[in-house]
Amino acid sequence: MEQKLPTDADMLAKIEAFCAKHSIPPTTFGRLAVGDGNLIPGLRKDRSMTLRTGQRVIDFMATYRPTKQADAA
């Protein structure tokens, strides 16, 4: 069975939910995940991400462990 790739809109929704859950500002998420603070603003303006960037985002969210400081916030 063929697996469907997520669209940019799907990825943006997952990223925004992740940011809300962990109280991470969009620019911080972009910098931590892929070194691009404009990642989320760009996606909101219909910018597309490459498959490589998408995989980096997925990997970041899968392995993210909040620091104690982030837990206290």
CA nearest neighbour of 29 among 17, 50, 48, 72: 17
| Residue-level pLDDT at 25 | 97
pLDDT tens-digit readout, 7-29: 999 999 999 999 999 999 999 99
Q: Answer yes or no: is pLDDT of 71 > 60.
A: no
Q: Both tokens of residue 31?
A: 């910098």
pLDDT tens-digit readout, 24-67: 999 999 999 999 999 999 999 999 999 999 999 999 999 999 87
69: Cβ contacts below 8 Å, ≥ 6 apart: none
Residue ranges per domain, the chain?
Answer: 8-64
- Calpha distance 26→15 (Å, rounded): 9
**What count of Cα atoms within 13 Å lies in the side-chain half-sphere of residue 49?**
28
